[in-house]
Amino acid sequence: MSNKRPHFKRVLLKLSGEVLSGDTGIGIDGGSLVSISEEIKEVWELGKEVAIVIGGGNIYRGIKGIDVGIDRATGDYMGMLATLINALALQSSLEKIGIQTRVMTPFEIRQFAEPYIRRRAIRHLEKGRVVIFAGGTGNPFFTTDTAAALRAVEINAEVILKATKVDGVYDRDPTKYPDAKKFDKLSYLEVLDMGLKVMDSTSITLCMDNSIPIIVFSFKEKGNIKRVVTGEDVGTLIGEVSNVRGSI
């Protein structure tokens, strides 16, 4: 098998809420919001179909509510609303630079977003709109990583692009251990067997069962999203891309 990666036509970009928060990790930083929007525009201008799943950790993490007496399910619902705040901020930023968008949620909140309907989401992508999936799966106890895997399967995305603070997957935290080893490629089973925390086990298993590759890369290096989409060898590849559906 060649090491050359294909170009991708329809991608799902997984963003953590922290991507929007700058160096503080809390709230929404205007500069970071503009920067990520411009990165997305570079890909959109190539004629790619872009869907986004965004987290809410910069505003609220459901699991943290347990420490102050909020039950897990309620905390997770609060986290879903946090992802909607981020999605609306990203929508506004993208539309200011000329990109048509739609925000879709698995729960009804029609004043702010469309209800998620699979066929409608695909049609938006075919019309050149960036679709932002907020609200996770709509269920407590599931992460936005799982939501990303689920939506990728549903819309027939060719790849999940996981934007992180580091340039790939390591055997341990490279910010704490200077001798941490970076992996260029991993199988799904290797990720599960080694307990690597790149995505939760449910999302990895869902991608494995549906043969959707995951590419983990740093969002901090300008132009990385475009490089990944156009086939450059960036970050860590999880799975295979030799038989990607619809690759060009």
pLDDT for the residue numbered 242: 59
Q: Which residues contact 4 (CB under 8 A, 6 or more apart)?
A: 231, 233
**What pLDDT is attached to residue 245?**
43
Measured at the alpha carbon of residue 81, what is the angle toward residues 48 and 68, in degrees to the nearest 5? Answer: 135
pLDDT at site 63: 66
What is the pLDDT at residue 132? 98
Instruction: Measure Cα distances from 150 to 138, 145, 160, 196, 207 in Å.
Output: 12, 9, 11, 20, 8
Residue 202 vs residues 143, 145, 208, 248: alpha-carbon distances, Å:
9, 8, 10, 29
Task: State whether residue 114 is helix, strand or coil.
Answer: strand
CB 218 within 8 A of CB 167: yes
pLDDT confidence of 165, banded at 50, 70, 90? Answer: confident
The Cα 8–Cα 130 span in angstroms is: 15
- Residue-wise pLDDT for 115-131, tens only, equals 999 999 999 999 999 99
Over residues 156-169, mean pLDDT = 94
Residue with tokens 């901090």: 220
- Highest averaged pLDDT of the listed ranges 15-29, 94-108, 171-185: 94-108
Question: Which DSSP helix (H) or strand (E) runs through 214?
Answer: strand 214-218
Instruction: Please state, in angstroms and rounded to a whole number, the distance separating the CA atoms of residues 70 and 1.
Output: 50
**Domains, the chain:** 10-238 (3.40.1160.10)
pLDDT for 204-245, tens place per residue?
A: 999 999 999 999 999 989 999 999 999 999 999 999 875 444
Using only C-alpha atoms, what is the Rg of the chain? 17
pTM for the predicted model, two decimal places: 0.92
105, containing H or E segment? strand 101-105
Please state the φ and ψ torsions of residue 169, each to the nearest 5 degrees: -100, 130
Q: Please tell me the least confidently modeled range out of 61-70, 104-113, 146-155, 181-190.
A: 61-70
